[in-house]
Amino acid sequence: MDDRRRRFEAQVLPYLDDAYRFARWLAGSSEGADDVVQEAMLRAYRGFDALRGSDAKAWLLTIVRNCHWTALKQQQRRAQVPLPEEHDPQDGQALIAAEPDPESALIRQDESRSLEQLVAALPEDYREILILREVEDMDYRGIAAVVNVPLGTVMSRLARARAALRKNWLQQVKGTPRAVR
C-alpha cells in the first residue's frame, strides 16, 4: 500500500462512522446516505493533499455535506423550500424574542413524538447544526467550518433548535409546562 493511502487510512478513515451518521441525518434514509458517503470518501481521497494538518473530521464532514447537496440538486427531487429567515448572527437574543412563540413555529405541535422525530422535524439548517453538536460532538468552530456560516449563526441556530426541543420535548416528558424555579 502506498504511503498516501496509508496516511489517508490513518487520518481520515477513523471518521468514516461520523461521516455515515451525518449523511444519514442529511439524507434522511440509509440508501441515500450510502451513496453520499461513498462519493464523499472518494472525493476526500482525491483531495486528500488539501487536508494538510487541518481538522480531518470537520474537513470530511464538509465534503459529506457538499456531496449531499450535489446529489440533492442532481435528483431535483425536492422543490425549493424557502429557508427560515436569516438573521444577524450577533443578535440571537432578539431573534428568540422577536415572535411571541418562535419555538412552536419551528416544530409543528403534535401530541407525542419521539425526540428523534422532533429532531427530524427541525428545518434542515437547524437540524444539521444540532446533529453536528450533539451527535458528532463538534465544537462551534468546527461546525461553523462545516456549515460555512459565522460562529454567531451557529450559536443562534443551536439555541433556536434547542429551544424548540426544550419546549416540545421536555414539556411533553414532564407533562406540564416547566415553571421557572
Shortest Å distance, C-beta 114 to other proteins: 7
Smallest CA-to-CA distance from 137 within 28, 67, 61, 39 is with 61
What's the rounded Cα separation, in Å, for the pair 130 and 164? 11
* Residue partners of 109: CB distance under 8 A and separation at least 6: 168
Which residue type sits at 79? Answer: A
Q: Report phi then psi at 179, rounded to 5.
A: -85, 145
- Does residue 17 touch other proteins according to CB under 8 A? yes
| CA 155/CA 89 separation, integer angstroms | 8
CB 55 within 8 A of CB 142: yes
Interface residue with other proteins, options 7, 93, 109, 110 (CB under 8 A):
93
Nearer to other proteins, 1 or 79 (CB): 1
Q: Which is nearer to other proteins, 51 or 155 (CB)?
A: 155
One of 5, 88, 109, 148 touching other proteins (CB under 8 A): 5
Binding site for other proteins (CB under 8 A): 1-2, 4-6, 8-10, 14, 16-17, 19-21, 24, 30, 34, 37-38, 41-42, 45-46, 55, 57, 92-93, 96-97, 114-116, 119, 133-135, 137-142, 155-156, 158-159, 162, 165-166, 169-170, 173, 178, 180-181
